[in-house]
Amino acid sequence: MLKWSLRGLGFAVLVLIAVIAVRTGQYRPAPVAENEPFAFGADLDKAVRDLSAAVTFRTVSTDMTRPDFRAFLGWMETTWPQVFATMERVVLDPATPLYIWQGRDDTLPPILLAAHYDVVPVAPVALDQWAYPPYAGVVADGFVWGRGTLDNKGALVAIMTAAEQLIGEGFTPQRTIYLSFGGDEETGGTGAQAVADFLTARSQRLGWALDEGSFVLDRIIPGLDVPVASINIAEKGYVTMTLVATGAGGHSSMPPRETAVGKLATAVAKLQATPVPGGLTGVSEEFFDALGRYFSIEKRAIFANRWLFEPLLEGILAGAPSTDAMLRTTTAPTMLSGSPKENVLAQRATATINFRIHPRDSIDDIVAHVRDTIDDDSIEIEMNRDFASPASPVSDSSGPGYLAIEASIRATFGPIASVPGLTIAATDARHYATAADAAYRINPFRITADDLTRFHGVNERLSVENLEKGITFYGSLMSGL
Ligand SMILES: [Zn+2]
């Protein structure tokens, strides 16, 4: 009998191995369409000079009164004169120009291409770490250096250069194209909101919109040796809550067994120990299912056999902050306060927790999660809903906008991998999404891990090669619209 059951067990193991192997073998990247490379005669040297000049305007949106904003808009007029002569331009508050390129067929839904030209401040303490001054627009070593080159003036220059070139070639789009350049993306994007309201008031429902939010990621994802274009189809929401615990206060020489600080600390510890539930569903599943196919065979075996390895896989992904953020709403305690003096008991202690909301959760879901988790009615939850935004809708990864963007990525970068992704930070795209049937997020630049610290950091730069790729991408995209 024992012999028989051992044999049975051996057989079952063999079947299991065979199933895993077959499923792994079938789990391969979707065949990549060869897109004809897009040949474009745009003047790259001029584009480099233009990006260099764009950097010299200190469009730092923490101070919208700076004259640089108006000056930048005037500079755009003279830098791309055919765009200015051909398209209608309206400037929405604050300092957000919207260019309207009238299409030949009004029955087709218009589309919108966006970038922003405001920048974050340069930290004075880090000034001496810059290889070149941050607002000089130095061109050296194959790069344009300076604040805003990557984020996001490079995209603006690429869009405008491509449009100028297409107009010069006599091209008129079939459908109307809007070009929108946010003046205050870094401080909330009321400009982009105004653009969405402008379009909605004119019943201009966009077929789709394209803004920043991701890149062609070159060896940034651990274990992936091929560049992959992450075309993001959704964006996380944002809410900050402040937990408030109160106590009697008094001298610290005779403390009660329960203090405001102690209650608060317990609540924060519970929230840390109880992440918002998440997992491989919805956009997270789409992303990892598309991405997993490009991994080495051992990793592919795990992704291909989720029926068996799901808990293991989710554990691995939850183990690293970057992948955990793709799976769930994240919980980040960021600020704490107690009493103002070491020997005084706090009458009021507060903890500020920042959540980035996954598209599967609503703001109210997060409030309920916090309530249930801390399980202490004496702690109040304060929240400013005006500063909160829900996650964006999830756009279709097989819709016409997605396919057009994907085709232009491949016409620019060759037959590279592309996956539908999730933007974990906040961008203007969430505002444009309110006026569009779909919103996508990618900048057509290839970035490496080395570039990541340059965003909002020191030595921000964009390679001349990337600028060229960007012009090609937008040229390819617009010429098909
Ligand atoms: Zn940006």
What does pLDDT average to in each consecutive run of 10 residues of the chain (481 residues)?
Answer: 73 86 84 80 95 98 96 98 97 97 97 98 92 97 97 98 97 98 95 98 97 94 89 96 94 94 97 96 93 89 89 90 93 96 96 97 97 97 91 96 96 93 93 96 94 91 97 97 95
Structure tokens at 167: 């107009």
User: Up-side HSE of residue 72: CA atoms within 13 Å toward CB?
Assistant: 32
DSSP reduced 3-state for 233: strand
What count of other Cβ atoms lies within 10 Å of the Cβ of residue 211?
Answer: 31
**How far, in Å, from the CA of 247 to the mean position of ligand 1?**
43
**How far, in Å, from the CA of 85 to the mean position of ligand 1?**
28
Query: What positions carry a catalytic annotation?
Result: 118, 185
pLDDT of residue 2: 62
**β 439-441/111-116 pair status:** unpaired
Beta bridge partners of 381: 243
Domains of the chain: 44-224+393-479 (3.40.630.10), 234-387 (3.30.70.360)
**How far, in Å, from the CA of 371 to the mean position of ligand 1?**
34
pLDDT of residue 338: 96
| Displacement of CA 194 from its chain's centroid (Å) | 20
pLDDT of residue 1: 59
Are 434 and 200 in contact by the 8 Å Cβ rule? The answer is yes
pTM: 0.92
**How far, in Å, from the CA of 133 to the mean position of ligand 1?**
20
Angle (nearest 5°) at CA 225 between 223 and 226: 130
Helix axes 464-479, 154-168, angle to 10 degrees: 50
**How far, in Å, from the CA of 313 to the mean position of ligand 1?**
32
DSSP reduced 3-state for 239: strand
Peptide bond into 152 cis (omega under 30): yes
User: Up-side HSE of residue 278: CA atoms within 13 Å toward CB?
Assistant: 26
**How far, in Å, from the CA of 15 to the mean position of ligand 1?**
51
Are 358 and 328 in contact by the 8 Å Cβ rule? The answer is yes
Scan for tokens 């620019």, then name that residue: 412
